[in-house]
């Protein structure tokens, strides 16, 4: 009888130890739809003689949350929506047309670009993340990394990020000093910036 009691006590102890190392059940992952009409992307491109800036509209997107933590997501960009904000009239039309042409983003053939999150790493502060994911432009997919901040405003999740993209990785090489010699002041730098704001909420 004593042996049975000792054995029962040991089994109970092992069970308690096992429970102490068992992770609690994770919160259910929920997907929030990106509100295209509230979201926006600002692009900034640079050349030897200056810079240009404009907007690109989102086509669709979603962000995945586990509780309040960002865990995944994806969004599509409407490349045909490219605009320029620092030029007017004919010069504006020429630049936008050039960006849409085969010299740059071949918008007629590749009307959308896409980004898919593959990894989300917390930076230690609530709402601060390092994002790793696959960016597809002109049918070419490359991994990129950047930092993102997620806040809550009026019941909606607002995600912001500043992303640096090397256009030459996506076969966008017009005016690139990395591929063409003697461009002088006509050189357009390979890297451009995207300022992304995604507003998402339950459908």
The model's pLDDT over 169-188, given as tens digits with 9 standing for 90+, comes to 999 998 886 766 656 767 89
pLDDT-derived band at 20, boundaries 50, 70, 90: very low
The average confidence (pLDDT) of the chain is 87
Residue given tokens 């810079």 in the structure block: 51
SS3 label, residue 145? strand
Residue 134 above 70 pLDDT? yes
How far is residue 91 from each of residues 85, 86, 95, 168, 200, measured CA to CA in Å? 11, 10, 6, 25, 35
pLDDT of res. 13: 45
Of the chain, the percentage scoring pLDDT greater than 70 comes to 83
Q: What gap in Å lies between CA 108 and CA 110, rounded to an integer?
A: 6
For 27-201, CATH number?
A: 2.40.128.110
Residue 15 above 80 pLDDT? no
pLDDT of res. 150: 97
With residue 148 as reference, give the H or E element that holds it. strand 140-153
Pairing of strands 128-137, 140-153: antiparallel
Residue 19 above 50 pLDDT? no
- What tens digit of pLDDT does each residue of 58-106 get? 999 999 999 999 999 999 999 999 999 999 999 999 999 999 999 999 9
pLDDT of res. 178: 72
The phi, psi pair for 184, rounded to 5°, reads 60, -135
pLDDT-derived band at 203, boundaries 50, 70, 90: low
How far is residue 82 from each of residues 85, 120, 137, measured CA to CA in Å? 10, 28, 14
Q: Is 185 exposed, middle or buried (CB count within 10 Å of its CB: 0-12, 13-18, 19+)?
A: exposed
∠98-99-102 over CA atoms, to 5°?
75
């Amino acid at each position: 009888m004593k042996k049975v009691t000792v054995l029962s006590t040991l089994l109970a102890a092992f069970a308690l130890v096992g429970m102490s190392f068992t992770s609690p059940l994770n919160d259910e992952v929920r997907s929030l739809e990106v509100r295209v009409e509230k979201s926006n992307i600002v692009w900034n491109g640079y050349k030897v003689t200056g810079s240009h800036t404009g907007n690109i509209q989102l086509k669709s997107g979603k962000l995945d949350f586990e509780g309040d933590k960002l865990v995944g997501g994806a969004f599509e960009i409407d490349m045909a929506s490219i605009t320029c904000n620092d030029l007017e009239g004919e010069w504006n039309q020429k630049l936008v047309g050039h960006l849409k042409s085969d010299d740059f983003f071949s918008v007629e053939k590749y009307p959308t670009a896409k980004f898919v999150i593959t990894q989300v790493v917390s930076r230690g502060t609530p709402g601060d993340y390092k994002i790793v994911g696959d960016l597809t432009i002109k049918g070419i997919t490359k991994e990129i990394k950047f930092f993102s901040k997620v806040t809550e405003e009026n019941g909606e999740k607002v995600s912001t990020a500043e992303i640096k993209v090397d256009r030459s990785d996506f076969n966008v090489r017009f005016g690139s000093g990395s591929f063409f010699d003697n461009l002088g002041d006509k050189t357009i730098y390979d890297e451009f910036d995207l300022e992304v704001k995604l507003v998402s909420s339950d459908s």
